Amino acid sequence: MTTAERTGTPSSAVEAPVLEVRDLSVAFRTEGGTVSAVDRVSLDLAPGEIVGMVGESGCGKSVTAMSIAGLLPGSARVTGSVRLQGTELVGTRESVLRRVRGKEIAYIFQEPMTSLNPVLTVGRQIGEVLQVHERMSGRAARARAVELLSLVGIPSAATRVDNYPHQLSGGMRQRVMIAMAVACGPKVLVADEPTTALDVTVQAGILQVLRDLRDRLGTSILIITHDLGVIADVADRVVVMYAGRVVERAPVTDLFAFPYHQYTAGLLSASPTPGVHAGTQRLQEIPGLVPVLSTQPDACTFADRCPAADARCREAAPPLEAVRPAINDHVAACWHPCPAPRTHVEEATA
Amino acid sequence: MTPQENALELEDLVMHFGPVRAVDGVSLTIPRGRVTALVGESGSGKSTVGRCVVRLVEPTSGVVRIAGADVTHLSRRQLRRHRSDVSIVFQDPAGSLNPRMLVGDIVAEPLRLSRRRLSRRDREARVAAELGRVGLRAEVARRYPHELSGGQRQRVSIARALISEPMLLIADEPTSALDVSVQASVLNLLADLQRDIGFACLFITHDLSAVEYLADDIAVMYLGQLVEKGSREQIFARPAHPYTQALLSAAPVADPERQRQRQQVLLGDDLPSALDPPSGCRFRTRCPLAFDRCATEVPAQIEFGDGVAACHLVQPDGTRPDVRAAETNEVLS
Ligand SMILES: Nc1ncnc2c1ncn2[C@@H]1O[C@H](COP(=O)(O)OP(=O)(O)OP(=O)(O)O)[C@@H](O)[C@H]1O
Ligand SMILES: Nc1ncnc2c1ncn2[C@@H]1O[C@H](COP(=O)(O)OP(=O)(O)OP(=O)(O)O)[C@@H](O)[C@H]1O
Ligand SMILES: [Mg+2]
Ligand SMILES: [Mg+2]
């Protein structure tokens, strides 16, 4: 990367990012007209970095993720830039994309049950990926499938390789999906709500697998979730989306300790904290509904629900920029950011 | 305590669907006006317990008592007398509201079904009041469910459940399908209404943080059976069963520094099946502390403090190992 992004580059990205997304916008043609789903989203993934993406239902997380992996339907109009190790993916020919997809960028869906083929053993399904992308022989692919299954923590992998999906629990199926996704050693793994359908004891195991992949193979991971606990657990950096836009981006500890955007602050105080809300304190609510994105090009999309909004917020969209010059990897798009606590200012200048 | 003071009593409740042993001997009491949370893994039988209580299904064996009355095997007609005593809110607000009915008619439906006849005006007034109580404007009555957001729809189903002023509310994962910020408003609403109206509640969930916020008591289910019961304070401060301990340690907290310092217990995810539950203790195939006896002998319910736990390692004085401690053979008391 030659020119630094105006909004600042993450300090952790000392090496060139594996994935660079710039001003990505996605609109869908529907019968009722054009629906804008993603509006000028930018983000980076450094090698071996785990970036978490949070935001309200319908704010464009999955559409962003799918456009990175090139999985959107034909009705989607994608503009902007997605570069994988310098190679532009937006507007690239399908034949080139097909090679990238599955090999360089892998995608894990929320629903492991519906995305596995019920009539093939898991070994066959993983094997097929390897035979297509790596030109492996059937024997070699099967042996590699067993290795991959143990890599994702499936016990007795040599037996499990011959199981059909319905013979596995939800957690094990999600592990199989991950094994399939990482079969070709992708540079980037996009995990869209990989644990939402699972209970916490199984979720903890899956998150451990993702961390292991990063540590052992250096895979960069974009993980999408509703659950701030999951973000707190695995993410290095966090991207907060609201109504199609990135509204805040920060290293994980900064984001939780010093949220700048009023929406982020609302989100953080809305989730119950064990030990704090024990039958006494009320949970914080964010009043109002998420707006339709395309109606507010020249305003802060959060203004209608924001406690700090004034006339300016309804007249101009705030740019995404470093809230304090000293902390350039923490950016927010807010005219009236939450005041930073004293300690933060001291830490930043120390 | 006399039975009438209990909103709900379950005695050795069993519900088998053919070979599937969905619920296998659950005993539970909810006193009037108290909230009991039923937590546990997906597929452990929580919803089935709820469906037995509202008698959407007829239990295989055991007893279901509502306000002291045995409703276990009552026919549909006989159940009508008890219908206004107990209501249920389902997990998926979209799927449980009739898309072709106006919100006002949906909320009024329990009134039509009850034996008390109300004039149309009275009914509309009750509906408007009920919508107001759950934080919706009266105009919402003239809309269809698909014209509302997820959180608004869940409020509608709460209004429908509460309009008959039930003594017992079954809330089956009422917030799982919702966003964090919408979840908060529904949980606040349930807490407020429970305080104002004083209904008893069986709150079914896998979200332990929501449990801590709302529940007086907690019951933990694993593969069709209760492994532990106790007050909220006791379960959170001193969980006794290894599964409860693992659940508490696995729920991530939304605080990166705290979350990353925590000791997590990683259980295998080779979940046993309700078709063929393991012998002895059903948790033993995933339990880090399992030993020989766990495979051969079903653990008894050990009473201690204000709760019970079914584990061979729990002593009557409440002493038990903690799987969350680094030294797993260290015994806490
Ligand atoms: N194929 C499509 N055609 C038209 N609109 C679409 C299509 N796919 C998504 N959208 C719209 O784009 C917006 C963003 O959707 P997206 O699935 O990215 O949300 P999300 O943030 O992933 O939400 P959730 O948390 O509920 O999964 C939504 O308003 C959605 O209705
Ligand atoms: N009508 C039915 N016929 C056959 N099996 C059933 C039926 N209803 C439930 N089961 C089975 O009973 C077991 C318990 O299901 P239940 O829905 O009560 O679990 P749960 O604890 O509510 O799970 P979740 O957290 O996923 O909602 C599961 O194995 C389920 O597949
Ligand atoms: Mg999504
Ligand atoms: Mg259920």
Tell me, yes or no, if A223 comes closer than 8 A to chain B by beta carbon: no
Nearest CA in chain A to B217: A279
Contacting residues for B95 by C-beta, under 8 A, at least 6 apart: none
| Segment A141-184, tens digit of pLDDT | 999 999 999 888 887 889 889 999 888 777 788 889 888 988 88
> Is residue A348 in a domain?
no
Go through the domains of chain B in sequence order and give each one's CATH number: 3-85+166-238 (3.40.50.300)
Chain-chain contact of B254 with A253 (C-beta, under 8 angstroms): no
Model pLDDT, residue B263: 74
**What share of chain A in percent tops pLDDT 70?**
84
CA of B155 to the centre of ligand 2 (A): 25
Cα of A43 from ligand 1 centre, angstroms: 19
Q: Are residues A125 and A241 in the same domain?
A: no
pLDDT in the model for residue B120: 87
This prediction has a pTM of 0.81
d(CA B15, CA B277): 14
Residues ≥6 apart with Cβ < 8 Å to A294: A34, A35, A36
pLDDT in tens, A253-296: 999 998 999 999 988 888 766 555 455 566 777 776 666 565 56
Inspect the interface and report whether the beta carbons of A228 and B254 lie closer than 8 Å.
yes
Mean pLDDT of A185-193: 91
Closest Cα in chain A, distance from residue B176 (Å): 10
Same domain, A11 and A95: yes
Residue B162 alpha carbon to ligand 2 centre in Å: 26
Per-residue model confidence as pLDDT tens digits over B145-181: 888 777 788 889 999 999 988 999 999 988 776 777 7
A·B CB contacts under 8 A: 141
Length of chain A: 350
A202-216, A234-248, B100-114, B197-211: range with highest mean pLDDT: A234-248
Segment A180-200 mean pLDDT: 86
Distance CA B219, CA B223 (A): 13
Helices vs. strands in chain A: H and E counts, helices first = 13, 12
φ, ψ of residue A278 in degrees (nearest 5) = -60, 80
Q: Is A305 inside a domain boundary?
A: no
Q: Are residues A202 and A236 in the same domain?
A: yes
Return mean pLDDT, chain A.
83
Non-local CB neighbours of A296 within 8 Å, separated by 6+ positions = A243, A303, A317
Question: What's the pLDDT at A215?
Answer: 93
**Residue-number span of the structural domain to which A150 is assigned:** 115-185
- Residue A168 in contact with residue A160, Cβ under 8 Å? yes
- Which numbered atom of ligand 2 lies nearest the CA of B45? 18
Whether residues A122 and A267 share a domain: the answer is no
What is the tally of structural domains in chain A?
Answer: 2
Angle made by CA atoms B135, B138, B140, in degrees to the nearest 5: 85
Q: Which of A233, A235, A286 minimises the CB distance to B181?
A: A286
Whose alpha carbon is nearest atom 18 of ligand 2?
Answer: B45
Ligand 2: list residues with CB < 6 Å: B 17, 20, 22, 40, 42-48, 206, 274
Bridge partner residues of A77 (DSSP): A27
Which CA distances in Å does A195 have to A46, A203, A204, B140? 23, 6, 9, 35
Could you tell me if A94 and A195 lie in one domain?
yes
Q: What is the mean pLDDT of chain B?
A: 87
> What DSSP designation does B83 have?
G
Give yes or no for residue A8 having a pLDDT over 50: no
CB–CB of B236 and A286 under 8 A?
no
**What does the alpha-carbon distance between residue A268 and residue A259 come to, in Å, rounded to a whole number?**
8
Q: Is the residue at A75 inside a domain? A: yes
Residue A199's CATH number: 3.40.50.300
